[in-house]
Every structure is written in C-alpha cells, then in structure tokens.
Structure 1
Amino acid sequence: MHFTKQVIADLENRYRAHLINSLSGFKSANLIGTQDSNGQTNLAIVSSVFHLGAHPPLVGMIIRPHSVPRHTLENLLATKQYTINHVNKYIYNKAHQTSARYDKDESEFDATGLSTEYLNDFTAPFVKESKLKYALELREHHHLAINGTELIIGEISDIYLDDACLQEDGFVDIEAIDTVAVSGLDSYHVTERLARLAYAKK
C-alpha cells in the first residue's frame, strides 16, 4: 500500500491521526502531574516525552496546540514545576482516562482514582502508584509555528524509583517495574528486552 502526500491529506481526520501516530512505533507512556497557584491538581497522559541530555539532566516533551484549554501547559508555565510519572501495567486504564476533557476545577487524580503524592516539598504532585517518577523545573518553552504545538524543556531535580529496577551501572530496568509502552493513540504494550549490547566500537 502506498500513501501519497495528497492521499494522506484527503484521509478522514481520525483515520489519519491513527495512521500518522502509529508510524513512530513504541513511545513512552507518562503521566504529567501539575497544579495551579491555587492548589488545583491536574494529571495528563503524554507519550511525546524524550531525553535531551544527561548533564544537565534535561527532558523534553511536546504538548498539543493551545487552541483549547491545556491545563497541564497553563499550570507548568505558571508554577515552573511538574512531574513525570511512568505508567505501569497496573494503572494504564486509569492513565488513559486522564485524556478525557475534564473541566479546570476537576482533578484527573480524583476522576480516575489515582493518588497524589507530594515529595521533598516539591509543588507539583506525583502519582503515588507510579514506580518511577521525577520532578522537573521548567527551563525553556517554545511555540512551534509549523503546527502550533508547544515544546517544553525541563531539568530534572529529583528522581524516585523502585530499588528493584536500578542496576549497578546506573541502567534503569523499566521492565522490572512493569512500565508499559504506547503505540498510536490508544494501544498499550508490555515489552520484552532482547539484550543489552556492549558499547559499539570500530
């Protein structure tokens, strides 16, 4: 099957969204925890989270266009703090439900039955049920004119993880804590590692 640029443009919106979102393969499933200046919490599932650098420890993520209220974006821009929490196989159904459109005064924590957790005096809430989570402070925000999305860059300040997943060389074995991956818009997966390979040299 061959999809040309024109064929892609002419596809029904939902079909096109499924097709294009599936092309990039497995992505990480993350819950972004924020709260506003009044203490109203928010939780949103995001799959476009990516490593930017280890020193300083930077993580980027893409948030959809701010053409409708984006409580996660609004909160983290206001407070400069947010958390990233891995989704595991025990909470993926609840995590997926956070993508529903809740009102500003409705907390996705309460709506889905996930628990807030506050650690080390950090303003933004963590997800208690997540086995790997980290706190971030906003470093850069860029509006991407090409499609209206928002690029967020944060610096990690604190990491909390289950001891079972941390190996001697610093490698985090996410399978040991049942972290799941997502493909497309709504397909969740458990993974099986093939191997860890040695550093490649000529």
Structure 2
Amino acid sequence: MRVLIETGQATFSRAGEPVFEPVDLSVSGGQALVVRGANGAGKTTLLRLLAGILRPSSGRVSRHAPVAFLGHLAAFKGELNCRENLDFRRRFSGTGSGMSNSRALARVGLAGLGLRPARALSAGQKRRLGLAGLLVAPTAVWLLDEPYASLDDDGCTLVDTLLNDQLGRDGSVILSTHQRQPELQTPPEVLVVQRFAGET
C-alpha cells in the first residue's frame, strides 16, 4: 500500500528547545495511527506539523497526499450557519467530490440544523459539524486531535464508523486520544510521543 505521509527525525522547537523527541513515522493507505503521550508531550504539536500548519525545526515531514486537520477546538465562523460553514470548508480545501451539505449533516446526526448558526451549536454538535467537514471535502489523510471530545456514546460510535469508512477507502487516519481506544476493524499502530529530555 502506498505511503501517504511520513516523517524523518521530525521535531519542533519553542524558544530554541525541542518540544518532543524526534519522530519517525510512516503511514500508508488503509492504516491508522494513534498518537499517545503525557499531557504537554506535544501530541497536538505533532499533528499540526503533519498538517503543515507548523514547520519542523529539524527533520522532515513528507505529505504524499492531501490532508485534513480537525483540531480539538472547532474552527468555524460562528456567524455562519452550518451549511455556509461547510461551503467554506469545501472552497478552502479545493475539493468538490465529497458529500452534499445535507447528506453530510444527516450522516453526522445534524439533519435539520443546516440553517442554525455555528455559535448556537452545543460543543458536541460543533464536533459533529467538524466531522461533516471531512465528508464534504474528502482527503486521503485525516489528522484528528481528540476526535471523541465532547461527544456522547452515540457520537463516539459515529467517529469509529467514519474512521472505518475512511480506512475502507484506502485512506489513512492519525489521531490523538486519551479518552478511548478507537474501535477499528484493523487494529491501529501506536506512537508514543516523548517530551524532549535534553542533552545527555
């Protein structure tokens, strides 16, 4: 299976000091990787590096396919309604081959809320809207930071279903989570991010 994203001794520095120990990873189509680590170890920073939001201070990040990043905090325009936010996501990504807005909203349990402003959604509904964004603008690689946050049991089951669908399309998933282990048809690989220990 083709490698979709990989790193070589990648790390990121703040104030001249690496946040985490250098990371080597390689994720292919149909493969999932769970990123674990202590609070403050740099899990979110690593995902942002993989997404291209941050640039590595040393080492390399190679993306061989389009990626989508869904952060812990919803990145929506509160004054826009759900449909408008999905339209924005589709235009921003440049992808036009995904689900329609209405179908994506129904898929994530937000049917009938297309005209509701994003600021009026609950935390769990905002998380579901983020998932809908992945469906209207599909990419080969999903980078998900705490995708189960703010979701009830049904919402967590929905995440697992969408992850399995993505892997079944030969896409890949890299996610951080401390709440639960994803229930996937193929067991994921696990990467433990280690805080930078300093020179020895």
TM-score using structure 2 length: 0.26
TM-score using structure 1 length: 0.26
More strand per residue: 1 or 2?
1
**Relative contact order: is structure 1 or structure 2 higher (C-alpha 8 Å, sep ≥ 6)?**
2
Larger Rg: 1
